[in-house]
Amino acid sequence: MKKLLLLDVDCGVDDAVAIMIALASPSVEVLGITCCYGNSLLENTSRNTLRVLHVCNKLKIPVYSGASAAILGGPLLDEFYYGKDGLGDVPDPQAPGLDLLQKEHAVLAILRIANERPGQVSLVATGPLTNLALAVKMDPSLPKKLKNVFIMGGNIESRGNTTVCGEFNFESDPEAAYIVLNEYTCPVYIASWEFICSCPLSWEFYHEWINQNTEKAKFMKKIYAHSIAKCEHESHFITCDSYAMAAAIDENFVTEVTPVGVTVELRGSLTRGMMVVDWSDKLKKENKVFIMRKCDLMKLETLLMAALK
């Protein structure tokens, strides 16, 4: 039996890598991809998803456009780490048009797919959690119908990569992250910012990976050029969303997890959007999440290499 995955992305370069990992895995069937704003405007993240599927010859996988802003509204976080379009600002005259998007809204698609295959679908979220939050508000029974959820986002040591204490995906929509962490009662696995930073890849691996002589690798090299120029001084290479995807695909990838109650700070002047980890169980939460602590990097490297073959 193949693992059934539903992907929710804000398709920037890191999401593109994660999507390609899933598409290349023989043990996985991707039922659909839902899109939200985040790494760029919704129009761009939706188009980027279609571009990735086009490169992988997988345009039959349905793509759904969803939330264009946070639950409380407001502008996008002005990061554009992966370029203004989210995919390195590389011109692509062959890019598929938005007419290939499904007419159904992403939130409705999440609910329908979960209802069609109760207890079978793993939801992998690699962007702001707005679509997931709206879905559970429309149908509070949704978490009972999902097999599990894998999230790239949040932080466990208050180390921010966007604000002082905020990780990008959670900081983009703190209310959505709060809703998801408090209302999704199915097993939830979190690849936090600090976990990923503690399990980096080498630049030697990056160059071996990106210089494979394939069309997928050439595509990846082009879209990564913008952001790699910013981080070449770093001692290691990380591709954040791949960790959550690897965990969803291979149950042996994560070698240590900590079950713990979590929530999200909504009001702090310096801590808004920070994931609060209740290490001492003062909140007495019944639905604990599983925070990833250690992983098998060789398995990740194998998945990444296969993604660009």
Please identify every residue annotated as catalytic.
Answer: 10
> With left for phi above 0 and alpha for psi between -120 and 50, is residue 240 left, alpha or beta?
alpha
Q: Which single residue is written with the structure tokens 């992998």?
A: 124
Identity at 61, one-letter amino acid code: I
Q: What distance in Å separates the CA atoms of residue 54 and residue 222, rounded to the nearest whole number?
A: 15
Q: Phi/psi at 219 (nearest 5 deg)? A: -60, -45
Of the candidates 125, 98, 95, 274, the residue with the CA atom closest to the CA atom of residue 186: 125
- Rounded (5°) CA angle 200-202-205: 125
Q: Structure tokens of 137?
A: 């508000």
Q: How far apart are the first and last CA of the chain?
A: 24
Q: 74, exposed or middle or buried, with CB in 10 Å at 0-12, 13-18, 19+?
A: exposed
185: three-class secondary structure by DSSP? coil
For residue 3, what are the β-bridge partners? 28
Q: Which two tokens stand for residue 55?
A: 């490169």
